[in-house]
Chain A
């Protein structure tokens, strides 16, 4: 069925098709429409689920943890301050290995108040033990949330998943998308299996009591191993979903015109579309750049990224986020991955689009042309560049 949906409503339809059983959420712009729509589905009887109208995001995640520990398939959504407010419980869910799925509408943090796109909120959660997806468009939001349940609940994984979509650019922009049939999704995603750690009065176990230093590290090791296994599972699930719907997202990384590219633009989220358009135009001018869109930030696709970057002379890393005092977070993670490549490309970090500032096609063209100049001039390192900041020249 082809319908026109905003990114928020695409997320809600994904949760509906995934037959989530417990939703607990708190309103926050620009996420609110996701849970409004789910409340509507539940009240209309289209979705057999419980909606817990909690008094905060901290309680939203706590309630979801309780419901997931009791065996339910659970979903919530948040953004920005809501995500940071629930941070303690986000860690709890990760360390408890509960297969929760959460949509995160990526939005800037105050002050000053700002409700528009930025990735600093979701990237601040990168160490919580959650798998993290970033979506390029509304179709991918719907498809990824359905895939996320399958990945989260896989015996080899058992990890919560957050699915990031950019504020307003995706959340509030309506585009035509394909909504799969319920019966297809039911085949793809059967009901959640009872796991060994469900709260059960017939098998009285204590969840997560005190654990001493000689045991705790073993659980962290298992978490790391589950993340590593998740890479394979994400690809498998994406392939299976592709066979079912005809749509797939190349698993962890989405590479655009990279086969013969000598320069790569690394990007996450909705601005990948503009980057691709810029690359098409630059190709017409005789350049040979490509775009690498990081679809999965955790587990970080280290090996996959290294394989692709091997052929590049230079890389532009576009960060819609900032780790003040260091630079872009994607930049840092990418550099770490490339460190022991035999011959390393020039790597340049661009901070762009913070607080919802536009990153235009011409910005990408400017970035790529500058980087080609750097290659010609044989420059090895250039300071972090800020795109479009008043008084700061590229």
Chain B
């Protein structure tokens, strides 16, 4: 039975009045994460926007334990917590990594890959705002083609690194993509992940008003457009079985997908793109879909 908004608990463990920018997807993501997993959860956070939005000592916006840790170290630190808790018979606690895209697809990838290969009992959530936002909008491996950042002032020349599929290639029990604009889908995936033993990886697409140059009221709208244009595809790989989730499943027919133009035209970071650039972005999206449709036809991919 699918989850309803009305069924979600009222309690929040991520507290109001934190220093996040208005319209921040990381703040919303943390709120949903903790609303779903509840207070028996320890969260590891590497350097990222969420380091800051906790607030400063001696206060914290987190009504749950957080271990802050260095940029490259979150999956390893979480491994240590998990093993210590298992040894001490306190395995009823969720151990979560909440990391940005830089800390996941770039500097944190080695530790994440190691933890995945060891199948550590961790829920790893990458909130992907597609650049180093905390240091002021620099290009990351997750920045899409064409996007302006302060280190790609004429637009990024390379496409986004496909980390969820890289994680699936580790053969871990659960990989999912999610979007901040589809909270029920995200929450359902978190609930599922928390019940599976081993490494769970959820990649949460998180439009950032500050870094993407759009009004703070548009965070959800833009995230939704990413899905409706097929730019961001919602899927799960559960025990090797690849499955598109309903919002993306209806887009298998290419004609059902909105053109990428409708997604990028309301974002300042893409305002300089030429028709040629937009065509390249569209071709990339189409190629990605071919890959997903192949995976869908295979069904069990590992």
Chain B residues whose CB sits within 8 angstroms of the CB of A83 once the complex forms:
none
Complex Cα spacing A92 to B63, Å? 23
Whether a CB of chain A sits under 8 angstroms from the CB of B54 is yes
26 CB contacts below 8 A, A to B, read A24-B79, A50-B84, A54-B76, A56-B114, A59-B73, A62-B77, A62-B111, A64-B80, A65-B67, A65-B80, A66-B78, A67-B81, A70-B84, A72-B80, A72-B87, A92-B70, A199-B42, A199-B65, A199-B81, A201-B42, A204-B64, A204-B65, A206-B54, A206-B65, A209-B66, A210-B52
Chain B residues whose CB sits within 8 angstroms of the CB of A62 once the complex forms:
69-70, 72-74, 76-77, 80, 111
- Are A56 and B84 in contact (CB-based, < 8 A)? no
0/1 string, B187-205, CB within 8 A of A gives 1: 0000000000000000000
0/1 string, B29-56, CB within 8 A of A gives 1: 0000000000111101000000110111
Whether a CB of chain A sits under 8 angstroms from the CB of B210 is no
A388 to chain B, nearest CB (A): 40
- Are A204 and B117 in contact (CB-based, < 8 A)? no
Whether a CB of chain B sits under 8 angstroms from the CB of A187 is no
Which A residues contact B (CB, under 8 angstroms)? Answer: 21-22, 24, 48-50, 52-56, 58-60, 62-72, 74, 88-89, 92, 199-201, 203-212, 215
- Are B79 and A66 in contact (CB-based, < 8 A)? yes
A209 and B51 contact, Cβ closer than 8 Å, known pairs A200-B65, A201-B93? yes
- Are A70 and B73 in contact (CB-based, < 8 A)? no
With beta carbons under 8 angstroms apart, the residue of A58, A71, A88, A89 that contacts B88 is A71
Chain A residues whose CB sits within 8 angstroms of the CB of B63 once the complex forms:
204
Complex Cα spacing A120 to B70, Å? 25
Complex Cα spacing A158 to B198, Å? 33
With beta carbons under 8 angstroms apart, the residue of B51, B54, B67 that contacts A199 is B67
A58 and B76 contact, Cβ closer than 8 Å, known pairs A50-B84, A72-B84, A199-B81? yes
B74 to chain A, nearest CB (A): 8
Q: A201-B64, A201-B65 are in contact. List 9 more A-B contacts (CB 8 A).
A: A59-B76, A65-B67, A65-B77, A70-B80, A71-B88, A199-B67, A204-B13, A210-B57, A211-B57
- Output the nearest chain B residue to A86 by Cβ-Cβ distance: B73
- Are B51 and A65 in contact (CB-based, < 8 A)? no
- Which of B51, B69, B77, B82 has the most chain A CB atoms inside 10 A of its CB? B77
Chain A residues whose CB sits within 8 angstroms of the CB of B39 once the complex forms:
201, 204
Complex Cα spacing A203 to B60, Å? 13
Chain B residues whose CB sits within 8 angstroms of the CB of A50 once the complex forms:
83-84, 86-87
Interface residues of B in 4-25 (CB under 8 A from A): 13
- Output the nearest chain A residue to B114 by Cβ-Cβ distance: A55
| CB within 8 Å: A-B pair count | 164
Complex Cα spacing A206 to B98, Å? 14
If over half of B's interface residues share one DSSP class (helix, strand or loop), that class is named, otherwise mixed; here it is: mixed
Complex Cα spacing A34 to B21, Å? 49
Chain A residues whose CB sits within 8 angstroms of the CB of B68 once the complex forms:
206-209
B50 to chain A, nearest CB (A): 10
Complex Cα spacing A226 to B301, Å? 55
- Are B57 and A212 in contact (CB-based, < 8 A)? yes
Chain B residues whose CB sits within 8 angstroms of the CB of A56 once the complex forms:
110-111, 114
With beta carbons under 8 angstroms apart, the residue of B67, B74, B113 that contacts A69 is B67
Interface size range of chain B in the complex: 35 or more
Complex Cα spacing A48 to B86, Å? 12
Complex Cα spacing A199 to B52, Å? 20
Complex Cα spacing A215 to B40, Å? 30
With beta carbons under 8 angstroms apart, the residue of A22, A48, A201 that contacts B40 is A201
- Are A52 and B79 in contact (CB-based, < 8 A)? yes
Chain A residues whose CB sits within 8 angstroms of the CB of B41 once the complex forms:
201
Complex Cα spacing A301 to B99, Å? 42
- Which of B68, B80, B93 has the most chain A CB atoms inside 10 A of its CB? B80
With beta carbons under 8 angstroms apart, the residue of A58, A60, A66, A203 that contacts B67 is A66
Chain A residues whose CB sits within 8 angstroms of the CB of B233 once the complex forms:
none
- Output the nearest chain B residue to A201 by Cβ-Cβ distance: B40
Whether a CB of chain A sits under 8 angstroms from the CB of B264 is no
Chain A residues whose CB sits within 8 angstroms of the CB of B76 once the complex forms:
24, 54, 58-60, 62-63, 66
With beta carbons under 8 angstroms apart, the residue of A58, A63, A68 that contacts B79 is A63
- Are B52 and A49 in contact (CB-based, < 8 A)? no
B81 to chain A, nearest CB (A): 4
A214 to chain B, nearest CB (A): 10
Chain A residues whose CB sits within 8 angstroms of the CB of B126 once the complex forms:
none
- Output the nearest chain A residue to B63 by Cβ-Cβ distance: A204
Complex Cα spacing A71 to B70, Å? 19
A205 and B65 contact, Cβ closer than 8 Å, known pairs A49-B87, A66-B44? yes
With beta carbons under 8 angstroms apart, the residue of A66, A206, A208, A209 that contacts B84 is A66
A127 to chain B, nearest CB (A): 17
B22 to chain A, nearest CB (A): 20
Complex Cα spacing A128 to B60, Å? 26
Complex Cα spacing A68 to B88, Å? 12
- Output the nearest chain B residue to A72 by Cβ-Cβ distance: B84
A95 to chain B, nearest CB (A): 11
With beta carbons under 8 angstroms apart, the residue of B13, B40, B56, B69 that contacts A211 is B56
Chain B residues whose CB sits within 8 angstroms of the CB of A74 once the complex forms:
80, 84
- Output the nearest chain A residue to B66 by Cβ-Cβ distance: A206
A368 to chain B, nearest CB (A): 46
Whether a CB of chain A sits under 8 angstroms from the CB of B300 is no
Chain A residues whose CB sits within 8 angstroms of the CB of B93 once the complex forms:
201
Complex Cα spacing A64 to B73, Å? 11
Complex Cα spacing A201 to B90, Å? 10
Chain A residues whose CB sits within 8 angstroms of the CB of B62 once the complex forms:
204, 206
Whether a CB of chain A sits under 8 angstroms from the CB of B166 is no
Chain A residues whose CB sits within 8 angstroms of the CB of B86 once the complex forms:
50
